[in-house]
Amino acid sequence: MNDMITICRNTYTRVLRTRSLYVLLAAVLILVAVAHLYNDLTAGRQKELMYDAGAALLTIVGLFTALVVTFDIARDLREKVVMTLLSKPLGRGHYLLGKFFGVVWLVTVNMVILTAGILWILHWEQGAWRLDFVKLAFATWGAMIMVTALGVMFASFLSELPAAVLTMVVFVAGHATEAFYRAGSLPGHFLFSVLPGFWLPDYKLEFGNGVPISSHIIILSVLYTLAYSGVLLSLAGIFFHKRDLA
């Protein structure tokens, strides 16, 4: 357990040393804030633009942060760091979990900073706290945990670029599994149940339009992402166990 925490902490601190991360966070907050100036371009819809831009950029930052895991694992494999680590009494599963939790930690910190910043900007623009944005951010956080787990799974048997690309492809395609659910057929229902449903924790359209979504649904959505992350991590463990690291 301690080994896993060490890997987790190392992953977190190593990525945190990247300066581009801070630039990214600052750039996002500036982008959301300048949407305030888009009054003429949006024909008076700059408030909506700020909210939607905030929600979209929160997802993008979460995605980029989550994708770090694919590069991090691949780099460990390339630089043979994994061999050193696994030569100690450390299970492959623990290594993957350590990496996963390290990136989740980073995703969480980034999203908390961004959510607080965007909330403040929205309050500055609109004169009221848009607390529904917290619900939205929480659901997005759940989706990003799933993306991280997806990244871990692909990185467990692929090199960094294919793993990152596939993670993105599955993230995009995962928003379309609603079609399987709506199809109503048995095969469709099966596919919907086993494939990653990234549309389930996605409430940007609803919150952006002021449709009230109960906290109960948001919590269930996040629980789904946690459960599905478990599926992906289990698969990652199986694939990584079978992988020849020599």
User: CB of 17: closest distance to other proteins in angstroms?
Assistant: 30
Cα separations in angstroms, 78 against 83, 159, 174, 177: 10, 9, 30, 35
Q: Which long-range contacts does 158-166 make (Cβ < 8 Å, 24+ apart)?
A: 159/74, 160/70, 160/71, 160/73, 160/74, 160/75, 163/70, 163/73, 163/74, 164/67, 164/70, 164/71
User: CB of 220: closest distance to other proteins in angstroms?
Assistant: 5
**Footprint on this chain of other proteins (rule: CB under 8 A):** 38, 41-43, 45, 48-49, 52-53, 55-56, 59, 86, 91-93, 143, 171-173, 175-176, 178-179, 181, 192-194, 197-200, 202, 204-206, 208-209, 211, 213, 216-217, 220-221, 223-224, 227-228, 230-231, 233-235, 237-238, 241-242
CA atoms within 13 A on the CB side of 39: 3
Environment class of 231 (CB within 10 Å of its CB; exposed 0-12, middle 13-18, buried 19+): middle
Please state, in angstroms and rounded to a whole number, the distance separating the CA atoms of residues 66 and 51.
22
Which of 166/213 has CB closer to other proteins?
A: 213
- Token pair, residue 211, equals 């449709």
Which of 53/66 has CB closer to other proteins?
A: 53
Please state, in angstroms and rounded to a whole number, the distance separating the CA atoms of residues 11 and 5.
10
User: CB of 122: closest distance to other proteins in angstroms?
Assistant: 15
User: CB of 111: closest distance to other proteins in angstroms?
Assistant: 15
User: CB of 19: closest distance to other proteins in angstroms?
Assistant: 27
Which of 8/139 has CB closer to other proteins?
A: 139
Contact 50, 36 (CB under 8 A): yes
Please state, in angstroms and rounded to a whole number, the distance separating the CA atoms of residues 229 and 245.
24
User: CB of 104: closest distance to other proteins in angstroms?
Assistant: 16
Which of 36/175 has CB closer to other proteins?
A: 175
Which of 112/172 has CB closer to other proteins?
A: 172
Which of 160/202 has CB closer to other proteins?
A: 202
